Amino acid sequence: MSRHSPTRRSPLLAIYAALVFAFIYLPLAVLILYSFNRDGVGGFPPLHLTLDWYRQLFADEPIWDSVLNSLLVAGGAVALSLTLGLLAALALDRASFPGKALFRRLVLLPLILPGIITGLSLLMLVVLSGLHLSLLTVLLGHGTALISVATTELFAGLQKTDRAQEEASLDLGATPWQTFWRITLPNLKLSLVAAGLLIFTLSMDEIAVTFFLIGRDNTLPLEIWGRLRRGITPEINAVSTLIFAVSVALIVIWYRIRMRSIGAEAKQLLQRP
Amino acid sequence: MSSAAIPQAPLAGADAPLLEVRAVAKRFGAREVLKNISVNIAAGEFLTLLGESGSGKTTLLRLIAGFEEPTTGEIWMSSERLDTLPPHQRRVNTVFQNYALFPHLSVRDNVAYGLRVQGAPKKEIPSRVNEALAMVKMTEFAGARPSLLSGGQQQRVALARALVNRPQLLLLDEPLSALDANLRKQMQGELKALQREIGITFLFVTHDQEEAMALSDRIALVRDGALEQVASPREIYARPATAYTAQFIGQTNLLRGEIQRSIATCGVLRWPVEEPDGPVLFSLRPETIRLCADGKRQTHEVKFRGVVRQQIYGGSSELLEVDSGDGQLLRVRLPACGPLAGELDFVFSIADAIRVLD
Amino acid sequence: MYSRAYKTIVSAPPLLWVGLFLLLPYALMFAHSFWAVEDGVLVHHWNLDNYEKLLTNPLYAEVLFRTLRIAGSVMLCSLLLGYPLAYYLSFHSGGRKELLYQLVIVPLWVSYLVRGYAWKTILGSEGVLNGFLQYAHITHEPVSFLLYSPFAVILMLTHIYTPFVFLPIYASLEHIPRPLVEASHDLGANSFSTFFRVILPLSMPGLLAGATFAFVLSLGDFLAPLLVGGSSGTMIANIVQTLFGAVYDWPLGAAISVSILLLTLSLLFFTQRLEKRWSFK
């Protein structure tokens, strides 16, 4: 196939694209670089490199407490939103009930509405119910808001799986319950992992909803947020660099999983007559 | 399952059907996909549901498998009501169109699936799986993932997976349509041999009339959600009941004409019939028309003179398009005979002009 | 093929949960916007005063217009950065496509806060940029107008939303069948007219989705102004946050929230209609 025109070189466009990449990555590079700068954030050039800020960070107990809190919240949010999101996706895919269209929109609302609105609405519910603000309210908030992500991802996964798989299972004598565990869930494995990772990162990073639902114990983003008010230190650069590294690690893991399955699919396609 | 213990329904006699579809109709919303279908399948029979895509044949199969519920009507198997049971309680198994093999399970585990979920004795499973795999000659692939198999191999696994459950009735939903032509022919042969060997009743769905002719004991031709004709392949080809059947199965010439005083007139063709007066439609297969070299005809034959308009060479045969006058074109299939041209005499036997319904 | 029991089991829990934890809270927000505060206490006294205050007090209109201006600028800047990038990747990047795509995706996963913080350290009067400018002898005094301004908010949000805008545009460009582009060239169109007559119209759904995304997300942001906006960069959501926190006027805050919500929903509705028109299906 001739592809002269689409791949013809266009140096101007390439330069522009390089500049956009620079815009995206320079701030991150600066952030990482200054986490090693002895003389603090700002000042140019950063001449004296050191690991002191990381040492200080590892000795900083409030930060690690908040990391633990964030992990707890994110873990709970993943469990909660995956469970409800899976059911919601199944319901949207297979059941018909009054108000289904409204339900679909409602579930997705937290994804498109500003976090402040969802956060404040949930705050009103908490106040109404007489609950105390705590990590639990944050978990409920994250879990509820992120059902949207779980539902979208798992619904897409369901749409891609072959309905005949489940029919075959029932046909071979499996009950609907057996079919769910042996066929439906394994078929959704990839979507579940993808949704789980995404929800985990989003929850670890969430501020807007958390802002209004937090009690005495901080999550990591809110701990950092609190410190920003007091001034900037490279210790925050150091923790940001670590968050960045963990995010990239998660993407790489996710990619490995996905590539493996894509590889299998490709092989399947190649060998089909 | 209790019905397994009863070989045939004792009250209804020895030739009671295995499966009875009684006045079944199916609607999806306003669309009527099946209209009042009644058909019986005898034990050990190979019945084919033949029809165009969208004719409703697959829906009928899904009703029997239990993936859909009939809007009205009932389905009975071995004198037990079938249509009220959920699919997993039916002694019916399906070979799906794209096989629907479980991608996350090996070939062996795919075949063992039905036995495991139904709680077959653990000791029994490996031997039954091996037996089923041997039956379809797939023993050496037992450990493979389905995605690594060719279409034909996947087909065999799907068969083994369905048959290992020893169903009373096997449903096959266009199982060969994903295969290329040569493999398809080969699988047709194997499928027919397998069915004879194990004696399980097959209900086969296809849109390919040649496939239906090659495999079936009986063909049920489905058109727009209704049964057009149910008969053996020979019967349905030789004596089509309707113009649709005659055209769908094989090629034919449809002759439209009139009967007056026991003479049928279709264009320039005239022959005696013993039927009442009125408009009439005949099906005349192209191969029933012969060249009449000596110009003589027997008493039971009709002779006509026609001009060869077109000749298509088909290896063992020739297909002619013959103008019998008045612009009436007839297709004639002759044994290969070399180029023909000009005006020639043709004859056909009156018995081969089959009266069909419009 | 699914029984009634199955359908009930899968739909009941999410329906109940969403009703209790989403519908009810949003309804509460709506109700609050019609209530009042008297002597610092919330009273369930139905009225329209909050909305009247919004319409009559010019302060709110001013902040709202600034918010729309900022959100519009973010949308425009992200499009100007994201579209050419997506076009380059889809049509001109050759074998490096997959790698470059990953490079755009990575920042999506990187914390909002981390990225905002990076800009704060760069733009500050003691920050990295000022350090660099003085080191290079471009300026002698720290430049102080960079941080704590609407400009800083726009810069930070553009940085955050460019990858978001890129994604749907890239997806729609990738969906354009390449023979269409070849056909356009074959019929005598040059690259320029092929772009404007074939590629751009066919990528409209992605462009609209990306634009809506950037606009809507910027519209309700209150963290960027707090981080880098200063008082001149205050946006509408900051007012809400103040009303709920410091001022304790929940009804008025709720009324603004409901207004933002309605604005967002009508925008989404409008672009959905537009997207349908451009989808050619």
Domains of chain B, by residue range, sit at 2-240, 251-355
DSSP A22-67: HHHHHHHHHHHHHTTBTT-SS-SS---B-SHHHHHHHT-HHHHHHH
* Residues of chain A positioned with their CB less than 8 A from the CB of C257: 116-117, 120-121
Structure confidence at residue A4 as a pLDDT band (50, 70, 90): very low
* Nearest residue in chain B measured CA to CA from A186: B104
* Residues of chain C positioned with their CB less than 8 A from the CB of B66: 1
Mean pLDDT of B305-324: 91
Per residue in A34-76, pLDDT (tens digit) is: 888 887 776 677 777 888 889 988 998 999 999 999 999 999 9
Mean pLDDT rounded to a whole number for chain B: 90
Q: What is the interface pTM, i.e. ipTM, of the complex?
A: 0.88
Judge: A140–C13 Cβ closer than 8 Å, yes or no. no
Judge: A176–C253 Cβ closer than 8 Å, yes or no. no
* Residues of chain B positioned with their CB less than 8 A from the CB of A164: 96-98, 100
Backbone torsions φ then ψ of B347, nearest 5 degrees: -135, 155
Structure confidence at residue C136 as a pLDDT band (50, 70, 90): confident
Structural domains counted in chain A: 1
Mean pLDDT rounded to a whole number for chain C: 88
Which partners does chain C have (≥3 C-beta pairs < 8 Å)? A, B
Amino acid at C61: A
What is the spatial distance between Cα B103 and Cα A265, in angstroms, rounded to a whole number?
10
Structure confidence at residue A125 as a pLDDT band (50, 70, 90): very high
Chain-centroid distance, C-alpha A196: 8
Per-residue confidence (pLDDT) for residue B139, from 0 to 100: 94
**Residue A205 is assigned to a structural domain of this protein:** yes
* Residues of chain A positioned with their CB less than 8 A from the CB of C32: 124
The two three-digit tokens of residue A126, written as one number: 């908490």
CATH topology of domain C48-278: MetI-like fold (1.10.3720)
Q: Which residue has the tokens 């070989």?
A: B7
Check pLDDT > 70 for residue A264: no
Per-residue confidence (pLDDT) for residue B15, from 0 to 100: 66
Chain A within 8 Å of C276 (Cβ-Cβ)?
A: no
Q: What percent of chain B has pLDDT over 90?
A: 69
* Nearest residue in chain A measured CA to CA from C227: A228
**Residue A252 is assigned to a structural domain of this protein:** no
Comparing B297 with A127, the larger pLDDT belongs to: A127
Q: How far off is chain A from C8, nearest CA to CA, in Å?
A: 8
Span B2-240: which CATH code? 3.40.50.300
Interface test with A, best of B109, B116, B147, B169 (most A CBs within 10 A): B147
Interface test with A, best of C16, C22, C23, C250 (most A CBs within 10 A): C22
Chain A within 8 Å of C32 (Cβ-Cβ)?
A: yes
Return the closest-CA partner of residue C17 out of B208, A158, A110: A110
The two three-digit tokens of residue C249, written as one number: 């006027």
Per residue in B28-52, pLDDT (tens digit) is: 988 999 999 999 999 999 999 999 9
Mean pLDDT of C41-66: 89
Query: Parallel, antiparallel, or unpaired for β B218-223 and B46-51?
Result: parallel
Span B251-355: which CATH code? 2.40.50.140
The two three-digit tokens of residue C281, written as one number: 């299906």
Structure confidence at residue A5 as a pLDDT band (50, 70, 90): very low
Per-residue confidence (pLDDT) for residue A65, from 0 to 100: 94
Judge: C2–A95 Cβ closer than 8 Å, yes or no. yes
**Residue A117 is assigned to a structural domain of this protein:** yes
What is the spatial distance between Cα B64 and Cα B171, in angstroms, rounded to a whole number?
8
* Nearest residue in chain B measured CA to CA from A178: B117
Check pLDDT > 50 for residue B12: no
- Kindly give the interhelix angle for B181-198 and B151-163, rounded to the nearest 10 degrees: 20
DSSP B309-324: EEEEE-SSEEEEEEE-
Per-residue confidence (pLDDT) for residue B10, from 0 to 100: 40
Per-residue confidence (pLDDT) for residue A47, from 0 to 100: 73
Judge: A84–C131 Cβ closer than 8 Å, yes or no. no
**Residue A176 is assigned to a structural domain of this protein:** no
Q: Which residue has the tokens 């999983």?
A: A257
Contacts B–C by Cβ distance under 8 A: 5
Mean pLDDT of B204-231: 95
Structure confidence at residue A268 as a pLDDT band (50, 70, 90): low
Every domain of chain C and the residues it spans: 48-278
Structure confidence at residue A236 as a pLDDT band (50, 70, 90): confident
What is the spatial distance between Cα A228 and Cα C65, in angstroms, rounded to a whole number?
28
* Residues of chain C positioned with their CB less than 8 A from the CB of A181: none
**Residue A26 is assigned to a structural domain of this protein:** no
Check pLDDT > 60 for residue B9: no
* Nearest residue in chain A measured CA to CA from B88: A173
Per-residue confidence (pLDDT) for residue B13, from 0 to 100: 43
Chain A within 8 Å of C248 (Cβ-Cβ)?
A: no
Per-residue confidence (pLDDT) for residue A269, from 0 to 100: 52
**Residue A74 is assigned to a structural domain of this protein:** yes
Domain that holds residue A127: 63-155+188-218
CATH of the domain at A193: 1.10.3720.10
* Residues of chain B positioned with their CB less than 8 A from the CB of A268: 103, 147-148
* Nearest residue in chain C measured CA to CA from B65: C1
The two three-digit tokens of residue C181, written as one number: 């582009």
Backbone torsions φ then ψ of B278, nearest 5 degrees: 140, 175
Comparing A254 with C90, the larger pLDDT belongs to: C90
Query: Parallel, antiparallel, or unpaired for β B169-173 and B92-95?
Result: parallel
Comparing C95 with C280, the larger pLDDT belongs to: C95
Return the closest-CA partner of residue B45 out of B291, B232, B242: B232
What is the spatial distance between Cα B249 and Cα B209, in angstroms, rounded to a whole number?
6
Per residue in B256-292, pLDDT (tens digit) is: 999 999 999 988 888 999 888 999 999 999 999 999 8
Structure confidence at residue A267 as a pLDDT band (50, 70, 90): low
Structure confidence at residue B62 as a pLDDT band (50, 70, 90): very high
Interface test with B, best of A172, A177, A267 (most B CBs within 10 A): A172
Structure confidence at residue B3 as a pLDDT band (50, 70, 90): very low
Which partners does chain A have (≥3 C-beta pairs < 8 Å)? B, C
Alpha-carbon distances of B164 from B6, B85, B132, B159, B175, rounded to whole Å: 20, 21, 6, 9, 17
* Residues of chain A positioned with their CB less than 8 A from the CB of B162: 171-172
**Residue A5 is assigned to a structural domain of this protein:** no
Structure confidence at residue A263 as a pLDDT band (50, 70, 90): low
Comparing C154 with C194, the larger pLDDT belongs to: C154
**Residue A58 is assigned to a structural domain of this protein:** no
Return the closest-CA partner of residue C171 out of C215, C131, C206, C211: C206
Interface test with B, best of A94, A171, A185 (most B CBs within 10 A): A171
Cα radius of gyration (chain B): 25
* Residues of chain C positioned with their CB less than 8 A from the CB of B85: none
* Polymer length of chain C: 281
* Residues of chain A positioned with their CB less than 8 A from the CB of B120: none
Task: Give helix then strand counts, H and E, for chain A.
Answer: 14, 0
Structure confidence at residue A92 as a pLDDT band (50, 70, 90): very high
The shortest CB-CB distance from C109 to any of A27, A125, A247 is to A247
